[in-house]
């Protein structure tokens, strides 16, 4: 937009050694501008203050839009870029006599991951605890930019665009398509009624330019616009899962339909996040299923643009419907009919053993999967979340099982035409032969343990001593990794 206005020479600074354009970009406005010199690319690391100063030299306006991938929950990385990097940008603006700084912030700076936001405005404070390290550090960076307003002749403001989408997106649509190909797009996290505000990418660019023009105005207009944060949306709230469905449906994939309560997914997400922390050094990819992501997918987040409309004169220039159409058209190469047909069982099905475990985890046997989920929920709430002792938890679990069996037993064979499958008494019968084998196994294990203890008492079997200590040490590490997050 800046290039097309023909009012600016544009310098693009980013982390890569060179700028990489798609074929359509090479032939478009940006490619032509780079060839003609009305735009130039500079390789720069925000964490290197000298590089930032060099990139800002001669600039009248700086649009600070850089940030790490929000899905990587790495506090050190986010702090070094979102806080220290932003401070470097501010200092470079002071040193290079930059007149205006427009910072791209995020609506997540006011989101705590617990409470939904309905038509939130800029009077909302930062929460005591953010949803993740990305949101927390974005809030710190935003505060630095707003505090710098009016110093050394610099005017600043912050833009908070909500859930950006559009052509060229490398996160939202590609991840949805990847999930659809893996058969994961059928699930809805939560009740599916959470409302969201999405923002088409051209509207985000337009909002930045509106902010720059307002700051460039003289007198009261610039004074009202400066030192403020602004929520930016398409002003068309929509159910989050309906938006996802429209994209998947437009590309020929299955719409989400199976609802899974967020509390059911949270223990699984915590386990996935823990696994990533342990295996990340060995090359494990960043997981999509994390606690912060579950909270984002199941909460409502809508925002008011009244302040942006009033102070920087922002209104969307592309409707949500038109934005969706353009986005879907730009990803025609990812359409379902263009993907190679898979013959035979999937790779994940084979890796999981092609049996009951695979059927359960991949939702091929819905009855079995739902039963397993219910068991996991009961286990989580009775053994982990409750804080009960083992004996108390087991007794409560047995009480629930007894109640279930009693009610199930008195139910009629049919209810409203549905057959109630009765549990035959033989299901509870334990064959004598099996009892005998289990007793022998338990006795054998006990005798083996006693033999080991007797050897240790003699103080001569060093190999056995080290073997047992290695096992205990390993268990201790395992227990440490399974501590609750706050305790860790």
Cβ partners under 8 Å of residue 34, min gap 6: 19, 40, 41
Q: How far is CA 21 from the centre of its chain?
A: 27
The answer as to whether 131 is a domain residue is: yes
The residue out of 313, 338, 363 marking a domain boundary is 338
Over 50: is that where the pLDDT of 324 sits? yes
Choose between 420 and 130: higher pLDDT: 130
Report phi then psi at 329, rounded to 5.
Answer: -60, -35
Report the helix count and the strand count for the chain, using DSSP H and E: 20, 16
Residues 253 and 389 placed together within one structural domain of the fold: no
The residue out of 390, 410, 430 marking a domain boundary is 410
Average pLDDT, the chain: 85
Residues 305 and 156 placed together within one structural domain of the fold: yes
Residues 246 and 308 placed together within one structural domain of the fold: yes
The answer as to whether 233 is a domain residue is: yes
**Considering the chain, what percentage of its residues have pLDDT values greater than 90?**
51
The answer as to whether 421 is a domain residue is: no
Residues 364 and 313 placed together within one structural domain of the fold: no
The residue out of 338, 362, 385 marking a domain boundary is 338
Q: The pTM is what?
A: 0.72
- Catalytic annotation, pick one of 87, 129, 138, 341: 138
For residues 397-423, give the mean pLDDT: 73
Residues 171 and 85 placed together within one structural domain of the fold: yes
Helix (H) or strand (E) holding 120: strand 117-120
For residue 184, indicate whether it is catalytic. Answer: no
pLDDT band at 96 (very low <50, low <70, confident <90, very high): very high
Total tally of structural domains belonging to the chain: 2
Helix (H) or strand (E) holding 363: none
Least confident of 46-55, 121-130, 150-159, 478-487: 478-487
390: left (phi over 0), alpha (psi -120 to 50) or beta: alpha
Choose between 412 and 214: higher pLDDT: 214
Helix (H) or strand (E) holding 438: helix 432-458
Q: What is the pLDDT of residue 361?
A: 64
Residues 294 and 198 placed together within one structural domain of the fold: yes
Neighbours of 370 (CB within 10 A): 14
Residues 116 and 235 placed together within one structural domain of the fold: yes
- Are 157 and 221 in contact by the 8 Å Cβ rule? The answer is no
Domain, as residue range, for 161: 44-338
Q: Where are the alpha helices (DSSP H) in 113-171?
A: 133-147
The answer as to whether 305 is a domain residue is: yes
DSSP strands (E only) in 148-296: 155-161, 164-165, 187-189, 195-196, 199-200, 229-232, 238-239, 258-260
Residues 138 and 240 placed together within one structural domain of the fold: yes
Residues 60 and 209 placed together within one structural domain of the fold: yes
CA atoms within 13 A on the CB side of 158: 25
Q: What is the pLDDT of residue 350?
A: 60
Q: What is the pLDDT of residue 480?
A: 40
Residues 362 and 270 placed together within one structural domain of the fold: no
Q: Cα–Cα distances in Å, from 244 out to 87, 164, 174, 255, 388? A: 36, 13, 12, 8, 40
DSSP 317: S
Least confident of 133-142, 288-297, 453-462: 453-462
**Of 96, 92, 126, residue with least CA distance to 111:** 126
Choose between 455 and 81: higher pLDDT: 81
The answer as to whether 9 is a domain residue is: no
Q: Please give the Cα distance from 96 to 74 (Å, whole number).
A: 31
Residues 278 and 145 placed together within one structural domain of the fold: yes
Residues 103 and 69 placed together within one structural domain of the fold: yes
Long-range CB contacts for residues 107-111, cutoff 8 Å, separation at least 24? 107/160, 107/161, 107/162, 107/197, 107/231, 107/301, 107/303, 108/70, 108/132, 108/134, 108/135, 108/138, 109/135, 109/138, 109/139, 109/142, 109/160, 110/139, 111/135, 111/299, 111/301
The answer as to whether 438 is a domain residue is: no
Over 60: is that where the pLDDT of 155 sits? yes
348-398 residue pLDDT tens:
566 555 666 666 666 666 667 777 777 777 766 666 666 666 677 677 777
CATH of the domain at 247: 3.40.50.720
Over 50: is that where the pLDDT of 479 sits? no
Q: Please give the Cα distance from 400 to 394 (Å, whole number).
A: 10
417-451 residue pLDDT tens:
666 676 676 666 667 777 777 778 877 887 877 77
**Of 221, 75, 215, residue with least CA distance to 140:** 75
The answer as to whether 50 is a domain residue is: yes
Report phi then psi at 431, rounded to 5.
Answer: -55, 145
**Of 235, 175, 247, residue with least CA distance to 204:** 235
Q: What is the pLDDT of residue 405?
A: 76
Q: Cα–Cα distances in Å, from 342 out to 252, 337, 351, 359, 364? A: 16, 12, 16, 18, 16
**Of 340, 366, 343, 364, residue with least CA distance to 353:** 364
For residues 188-194, give the mean pLDDT: 92
The answer as to whether 27 is a domain residue is: no
DSSP strands (E only) in 381-452: 414-415, 418-419
């Amino acid at each position: 937009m800046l290039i097309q206005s023909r009012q600016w020479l544009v310098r693009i600074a980013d982390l890569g050694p060179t700028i990489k354009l798609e074929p359509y970009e090479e032939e478009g406005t940006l490619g032509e501008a780079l060839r003609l010199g009305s735009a130039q690319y500079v390789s720069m690391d925000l964490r290197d203050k000298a590089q930032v100063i060099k990139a800002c030299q001669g600039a009248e306006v700086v649009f600070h839009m850089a940030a790490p991938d929000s899905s990587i929950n790495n506090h050190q990385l986010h702090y070094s870029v979102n806080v220290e990097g932003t401070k470097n940008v501010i200092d470079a603006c002071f040193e290079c006599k930059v007149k205006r700084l427009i910072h791209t912030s995020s609506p997540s700076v006011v989101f705590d991951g617990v409470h939904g936001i309905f038509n939130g405005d800029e009077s909302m404070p930062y929460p005591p605890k953010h949803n993740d390290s990305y949101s927390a550090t974005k809030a710190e960076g935003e505060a630095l930019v707003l505090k710098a307003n009016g110093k050394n002749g610099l005017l600043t403001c912050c833009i908070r665009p909500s859930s950006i989408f559009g052509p060229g997106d490398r996160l939202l649509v590609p991840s949805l398509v990847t999930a659809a190909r893996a058969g994961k797009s059928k699930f809805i996290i939560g009740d599916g009624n959470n409302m969201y505000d999405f923002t088409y990418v051209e509207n985000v660019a337009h909002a930045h330019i509106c902010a720059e023009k307002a700051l460039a105005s003289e007198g009261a207009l610039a004074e009202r616009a400066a030192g403020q944060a602004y929520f930016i949306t398409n002003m068309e709230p929509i159910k989050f899962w309906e938006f996802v469905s429209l994209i998947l449906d437009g590309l020929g994939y299955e719409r989400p339909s199976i609802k899974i309560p967020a509390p059911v997914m949270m223990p699984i997400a915590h386990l996935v996040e823990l696994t990533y922390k342990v295996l990340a050094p060995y090359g494990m990819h960043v997981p999509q299923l994390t606690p912060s992501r579950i909270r984002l997918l199941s909460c409502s987040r809508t925002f008011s643009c009244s302040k942006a409309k009033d102070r920087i004169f922002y209104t969307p220039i592309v409707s949500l419907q038109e934005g969706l159409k353009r986005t879907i058209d730009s990803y025609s190469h990812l359409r379902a009919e263009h993907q190679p047909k898979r013959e035979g069982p999937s790779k994940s099905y084979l890796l999981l053993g092609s049996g009951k475990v695979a059927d359960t985890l991949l939702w091929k046997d819905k009855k079995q999967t739902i039963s397993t989920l219910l068991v996991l929920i009961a286990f989580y709430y009775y053994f982990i979340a409750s804080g009960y002792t083992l004996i108390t938890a087991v007794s409560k679990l047995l009480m629930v099982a007894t109640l279930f069996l009693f009610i199930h037993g008195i139910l009629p064979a049919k209810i409203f035409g549905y057959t109630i499958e009765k549990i035959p008494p033989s299901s509870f019968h334990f064959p004598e032969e099996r009892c005998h084998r289990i007793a022998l196994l338990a006795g054998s294990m006990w005798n083996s343990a006693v033999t080991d203890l007797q050897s240790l008492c003699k103080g001569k079997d060093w190999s056995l001593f080290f073997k047992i200590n290695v096992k205990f040490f390993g268990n201790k590490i395992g227990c440490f990794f399974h501590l609750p997050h706050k305790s860790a």
